[in-house]
Amino acid sequence: MDLLLHADDIHASYDHRRILKGVGLAVGRGEILGLIGTNGAGKTTLMGVLAGSHRYDAGLMTLAGEMYAPDNSDEARACGVGLIPQNFSIDPQLTIARAIFRGTFQAERPHGELRDQAGKLIRDIGINLDPDAKVGSLIRAEQALVEVLRMVAEEAQLVIMDEVAASLPDHDVAVLHRVLRMLVKQGRAIIYITHRLDEVRSIAHRIAVLREGRVHKILEASHTDVQELAFLLLQHELESGARPSDAADGGELLRVVGLSTEDRVRDVSFSVAKGEVFGLVGTHRSGVYDVVEALAGVRRSTSGRILLHGREVEIQTPQDALALKIGYLSDAVDDHAASGTIVQGLQHSTGGKEPNLQDEITHLRGVAEVVRRMRISTTNIHGDISTLSGGDRQKVQLAKWITTGCDLLILSHPSRGIDIGAKEAVYQMLKELSQTGVGIILLSSDLSELISWCHRVGVMRDGELVTIEANANTNEDVLVHHMMGVKFESGSSEARRART
């Protein structure tokens, strides 16, 4: 192996807490090294060390045979190391062309020249993006693809990707994998972080298992399976829950009739029963986001009716939705949600009343139980949310909505960035919620998650709801067929995702 990066006995701390406790790993040119670990294992800290954004306490690194100790991310980029962090952000006012070439020596070239070069990159990779479009017009998954294109433009020799595919649908995961293979054929190296164990097996050459701040084991991807990887992460076997086969038996909670939003969604109708987990899936431009945003008051509908508990309601703003006990967890990065303490992050409104001592004790006990149950890695519930890993921050946001007392909960990619052990806890909490009569609309690009969790799944395509599939009568291939309008078989595709 032509070694590119070697890290030996790396120690690093965060907020006076030792995170990395002697990490050692190596990655060669032309190799994809998968990196897996539970939330809080130290993956993001390690990537920060490698990419120059986090100072390490001890250890030794070499890059292309030379000593490597970057003081900042600019110095790391100059050395040929590029990072796409889990919670990346791009100026929404930039065009896609400017976003791709930002931070490179070409950044100041005329936009027309950048547009032509960006267009060629986009065509070569085979994705559908307009170089002149603003980043702010893209959904999160499309922005992730822009970040991958940035790595290509930067000509990074070591590319680090932290949960890039977390919200990508299957066909875009296939595109991403094609780009990664193109990069390694050029002699670059990739460190690829994901919680999707089937995916990491399909794309990586070797897989490093990070546990409690150390590399516990490195395996050949072709010589392991999901069950072994899960056991190495969790130190126990995964529970195999039965997918819901019967229809939810509660009365009708929500009915949507002829919903339209400008020219993006046309005449969408469906219902959600009390206690039902109703899945929604579609490609980026299918209109699936428009539907849930209309229900959450983020986007205004132009026609149609929404009935809640049999009564027609009007939802024009997020405040309207909250007043109707409709909660919405978006998959957009919320910087405000990452501020304050964990206790504050799980705090619900008291309606203007001053909480008494018993209320505070009850709340603290509840927070401690949520932290335990969702496997949030922290030693102090009064610690700042910003000290948590990206996945643990997602758990805090998710837990707040799950415990908020809504009648209808709309969750967009709730398991994005969450490890497989916490997924089990999330599913159990959603199941318990549904048993109390709460209706749940689950938007996800992870088809195995929809099949495992939902009673029914609605599929959007080209602004229309093309089918609603009962769980007992569907599978992932059927859903993709309806999403794409063409046959798409898992047996011949590299894109089929994990079943964990």
How confident is the model at residue 231, as a pLDDT?
93
The domain locations on the chain are 3-234, 252-492
How confident is the model at residue 40, as a pLDDT?
83
Terminal C-alpha separation, the chain = 32
Provide the CATH number for the domain formed by 3-234 in this structure. Answer: 3.40.50.300
pLDDT tops 70 at residue 497: no
Asked if 3-234 and 252-492 have one fold, the answer is yes
Distance CA 164, CA 180 (A): 12
How confident is the model at residue 63, as a pLDDT?
97
pLDDT tops 90 at residue 358: no
Mean pLDDT of 4-25: 93
Summarize pLDDT for 99-124 with one digit per residue, the tens.
999 988 888 899 999 999 999 989 88
Q: Is 354 exposed, middle or buried (0-12, 13-18, 19+ CB in 10 A)?
A: exposed
Distance CA 484, CA 500 (A): 24
Tell me the percentage of the chain whose pLDDT exceeds 70: 92
Give residue 222's pLDDT band: very low, low, confident or very high (50, 70, 90).
Answer: very high
Q: Is the dihedral of CA 215, 217, 219, 224 positive or negative?
A: negative
Q: Is 159 exposed, middle or buried (0-12, 13-18, 19+ CB in 10 A)?
A: buried
Give residue 330's pLDDT band: very low, low, confident or very high (50, 70, 90).
Answer: confident
321 Cβ neighbours under 8 A, 6+ residues apart: 295, 296, 297, 315, 327, 328
Give residue 169's pLDDT band: very low, low, confident or very high (50, 70, 90).
Answer: confident
Mean pLDDT of 451-479: 93
Give residue 495's pLDDT band: very low, low, confident or very high (50, 70, 90).
Answer: very low
Mean pLDDT of 365-389: 79
pLDDT tops 90 at residue 448: no
How confident is the model at residue 138, as a pLDDT?
86
How confident is the model at residue 489, as a pLDDT?
45
349 Cβ neighbours under 8 A, 6+ residues apart: none
CA–centroid distance for 138 within its chain:
16
- Helix or strand run (H / E) with residue 277: strand 277-282
Give residue 494's pLDDT band: very low, low, confident or very high (50, 70, 90).
Answer: very low
The residues facing 283 across adjacent strands are none
More confident of the two residues 352 and 360 = 360
Summarize pLDDT for 43-71 with one digit per residue, the tens.
989 999 999 999 999 999 999 999 999 99
The structure tokens listed for 129 are 């993006």
pLDDT tops 70 at residue 178: yes
Distance CA 331, CA 401 (A): 13
Tell me the percentage of the chain whose pLDDT exceeds 90: 52
Phi, psi angle pair for 151, to nearest 5° = -60, -40
Mean pLDDT of 356-379: 78
How confident is the model at residue 490, as a pLDDT?
42
Mean pLDDT of 330-350: 67
How confident is the model at residue 456, as a pLDDT?
95
DSSP per-residue codes, 133-187: SBGGGS-HHHHHHHHHHHHHHHT-SEEEEESTTTT--HHHHHHHHHHHHHHHHTT
Q: What single-letter DSSP state applies at residue 127?
A: -
pLDDT tops 80 at residue 168: no
pLDDT tops 60 at residue 140: yes
Mean pLDDT of 72-78: 93
pLDDT tops 90 at residue 362: no
3-class secondary structure, 445? coil
More confident of the two residues 13 and 426 = 13
How confident is the model at residue 229, as a pLDDT?
94
Mean pLDDT of 248-264: 90
Give residue 356's pLDDT band: very low, low, confident or very high (50, 70, 90).
Answer: confident
Q: Identify which of 130, 452, 406 has the alpha carbon closest to the alpha carbon of residue 285.
A: 130
Q: What angle do CA 167, 172, 173 make, to 5 degrees?
A: 75
CB 151 within 8 A of CB 82: yes
The residues facing 465 across adjacent strands are 460
More confident of the two residues 384 and 131 = 131
Give residue 430's pLDDT band: very low, low, confident or very high (50, 70, 90).
Answer: confident
State pTM to two decimals.
Answer: 0.79
Q: Identify which of 353, 348, 500 has the alpha carbon closest to the alpha carbon of residue 422.
A: 500
Q: What single-letter DSSP state applies at residue 355?
A: P
Provide the CATH number for the domain formed by 252-492 in this structure. Answer: 3.40.50.300
Mean pLDDT of 320-349: 77
Mean of per-residue pLDDT scores for the chain: 86
How confident is the model at residue 376, as a pLDDT?
79
Where residue 126 falls (left for φ over 0; alpha for ψ -120 to 50; beta otherwise) is: left
Distance CA 453, CA 448 (A): 9
